């Protein structure tokens, strides 16, 4: 019964937050106005700047920010207890994550769709802009490497997910072409595309495609290379060719999956066998601060500011749409993370196959999977906990469990794919903008910049072997850098709001809280990396920590200096 109460209370809470705090931020703090000209209209070019209906851009934005973050993070964060995890997901998403996403989107709308790094230079100063660029580059480098490997691992674990994920590409291209024609009915096209997508899942169920070892490369290594080649091609196409339509149909996939999961919760009412509080699990780092950076995207994510200011701001049709797209998407992601908690804390216990083949249920099932930090911290383990738990709940609706497993595998891989697409495109923007400042003309062009983004990510993913273990070793660093970036973005938004004479405490207080947790966690992580001899991770994390401290101190100094200057009496004749 606990699981049903969690779903109902969370859903009502998010709706109330959207219509109260979300409205206050939109109208009173950011002053969204339909009369203001958006970058998509002012700079429309048919490639990156494209005015888009809010329903469609919501699909792109949500699937881009969601990825596997709100799945992997809660799936491991529950080890410290489902109550602290749930509280952080709800409070973090309402008062920090959604505020961050909306703020980044609005500030980009008011600056011709520029990225957060570029805007830092516009509203603060040039050298802080360069620092922000470097932090963003490092963060995206990790994201592209990790998400390329995430999909590779899923394909290796669930070969039946391979065909459905790749089939989505021609479906999305055909849908995008029909929409651009202008005469097609969006509802009819959507229905056909979604039906074709689920037809692909059925086909994949009957036709799994395992990847063999090729020229000595393991399956995960081969998939990582193919996925990054795909990311290169996809990120250089017009957003209307593949990015928008694929994200749009994936948004429908998400809604269907969430509907099935919510229905599964009401039908099965899984008991939350996960402990309510378990603040000292065996072998785990301290819950304070690691719970916060582990949950990551389920509560607040710096990657979202890159999506908001990188692609979404170039497609928003009117300013008021920003609340639905920016604030609403993050609340939806918080609700998804809540469902993941239930799947791992209750659904997993309905039927879990142990390593020896024994079928376990109840507390024994959860204890076996989450008995220690090492048991639950592997990437495959995180994904499996959600897939198995979700499949158990969906199977109660009459769906064969084997098919439900495929359904959830495709769901996770599809969302990781949209994040991979968007991250590569964003990295291209970052490299191009930085190249303009550094006067490196070759890297200002689309293909050289994208090639650099893909090659560096491939090198990072493979630095510890062809299986791509390098990205796995970077996973602990991802959570810290991800939220560190969010804290820095909130400082920039706070400074801009202060310049506009608006309430900047709604963004400044969350930034200080999140920067405290991330600095703490990152310092601890660097010590672990040093002991393990993980030099690439140590170097990336150390650079990020130094730049974060510098940018934070200087940003706060600028805010205080302006405040003191404004309070001084005017002089002169």
Q: Where are the domains of the chain?
A: 2-464
The CA distances from residue 166 to 163, 170, 313, 410, 413, in Å, are 5, 8, 28, 10, 10
DSSP codes of every residue in 286-305: PHHHHHHHHHGGGT--THHH
Task: Compute the distance between CA of residue 479 and CA of residue 383 in angstroms, rounded to an integer.
Answer: 16
DSSP codes of every residue in 481-526: HHHHHHHHHHHHHHHHHHHTTS--HHHHHHHHHHHHHHHHHHHHHH
pTM of the model: 0.88
Q: Is the peptide bond before 289 cis (omega within 30 degrees of 0)?
A: yes
DSSP codes of every residue in 10-27: HHHHHHHHHHTHHHHIII
Tokens of 195: 């039906």
What is the full per-residue pLDDT of the chain (573 aa) written as tens digits?
Answer: 789 999 999 999 999 999 999 999 999 999 999 999 999 999 988 777 889 888 888 887 887 787 777 888 899 899 999 999 999 999 999 999 999 999 999 999 999 998 888 899 898 888 888 888 888 888 888 888 888 888 898 899 899 999 999 999 999 999 888 877 766 777 888 889 999 999 999 999 999 999 998 988 899 899 999 999 999 998 888 877 887 788 788 888 888 988 999 999 999 999 999 999 999 988 888 999 999 988 988 899 998 998 899 889 999 999 999 999 999 999 999 999 999 999 999 999 999 888 778 888 999 999 888 888 876 666 677 788 899 999 999 999 999 999 999 999 998 888 888 888 888 988 998 888 788 877 888 888 889 999 999 999 988 888 766 665 555 566 667 788 888 899 999 999 999 999 999 999 999 999 999 999 999 999 988 988 888 787 877 888 899 889 888 888 888 888 887 655 554 444 333
Task: Compute the distance between CA of residue 211 and CA of residue 468 in angstroms, rounded to an integer.
Answer: 15
Q: Which CATH class is domain 2-464?
A: mainly alpha
DSSP codes of every residue in 341-398: HHHHHTGGGG-EE-TTS-EE-HHHHHHHHSSSHHHHHSHHHHHHHHHHHHHHHHHTTT
94 DSSP 8-state letter: I
- Other CB atoms closer than 10 Å to residue 69's CB: what's the count? 28
């Amino acid at each position: 019964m606990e699981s049903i109460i969690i779903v109902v209370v969370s859903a009502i809470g998010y709706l109330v937050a959207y219509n109260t705090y979300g409205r206050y931020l939109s109208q009173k703090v950011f002053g969204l106005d339909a009369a203001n000209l958006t970058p998509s209209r002012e700079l429309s070019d048919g490639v990156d700047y494209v005015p888009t209906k809010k329903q469609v851009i919501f699909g792109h934005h949500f699937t881009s920010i969601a990825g596997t973050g709100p799945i992997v993070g809660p799936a491991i964060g529950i080890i410290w207890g489902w109550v602290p995890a749930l509280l952080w997901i709800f409070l973090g998403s309402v008062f920090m994550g959604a505020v961050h996403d909306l703020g980044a989107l609005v500030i980009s709308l008011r600056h011709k769709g520029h990225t957060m790094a570029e805007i830092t230079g516009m509203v603060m100063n040039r050298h802080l802009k360069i620092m922000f660029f470097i932090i963003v580059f490092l963060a995206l480098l990790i994201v592209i490497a990790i998400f390329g490997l995430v999909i590779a691992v899923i394909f290796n674990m669930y070969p039946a997910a391979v065909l459905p994920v790749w089939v989505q590409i021609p479906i999305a291209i055909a849908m995008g072409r029909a929409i651009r024609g202008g005469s097609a009915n969006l509802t009819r096209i959507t229905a056909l595309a979604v039906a074709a997508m689920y037809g692909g899942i059925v086909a994949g169920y009957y036709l799994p495609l395992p990847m063999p070892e090729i020229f000595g490369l393991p399956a995960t290594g081969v998939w990582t290379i193919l996925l990054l080649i795909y990311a290169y091609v996809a990120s250089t196409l017009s957003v209307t060719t593949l990015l928008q339509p694929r994200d749009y149909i994936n948004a429908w996939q998400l809604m269907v999956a969430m509907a099935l999961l919510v229905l599964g919760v009401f039908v099965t009412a899984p008991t939350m066998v996960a402990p309510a509080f378990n603040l000292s699990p065996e072998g785990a780092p301290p819950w304070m601060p690691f719970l916060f950076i582990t949950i990551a995207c389920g509560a607040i994510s710096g990657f979202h500011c890159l999506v908001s200011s990188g692609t979404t701001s170039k497609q928003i049709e009117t300013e008021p749409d920003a609340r639905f797209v920016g604030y609403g998407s993050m609340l939806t992601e918080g609700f998804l993370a809540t469902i993941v908690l239930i799947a791992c804390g209750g659904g997993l216990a309905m039927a879990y196959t142990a390593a020896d083949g024994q079928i376990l249920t109840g507390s024994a099932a959860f204890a076996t999977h989450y008995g220690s930090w090492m048991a639950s911290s592997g990437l495959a383990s995180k994904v499996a906990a959600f897939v198995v738990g979700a499949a158990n709940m969906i199977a109660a609706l009459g769906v064969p469990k084997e098919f439900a497993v495929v359904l959830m595998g495709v769901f996770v891989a599809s969302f990781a794919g949209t994040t991979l697409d968007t991250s590569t495109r964003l990295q291209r923007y970052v490299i191009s903008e930085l190249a303009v400042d550094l006067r490196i003309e070759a890297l200002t062009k689309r293909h050289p910049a994208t090639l650099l983004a893909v090659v560096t990510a491939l090198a990072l993913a493979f630095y510890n072997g062809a299986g791509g273990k390098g990205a796995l070793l970077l996973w602990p660093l991802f959570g810290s850098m991800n939220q560190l970036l969010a804290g820095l973005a909130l400082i920039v938004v706070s400074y801009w709001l202060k310049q506009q004479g608006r309430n900047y405490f709604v963004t400044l207080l969350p930034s200080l809280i999140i920067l405290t947790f991330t600095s703490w966690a990152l310092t601890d992580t660097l010590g672990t990396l040093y002991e393990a001899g993980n030099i690439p991770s140590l170097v990336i994390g150390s650079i990020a920590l130094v730049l974060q401290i510098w940018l934070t101190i200087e940003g706060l100094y600028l805010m205080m200096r302006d405040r003191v200057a404004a309070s001084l009496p005017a002089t002169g004749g």
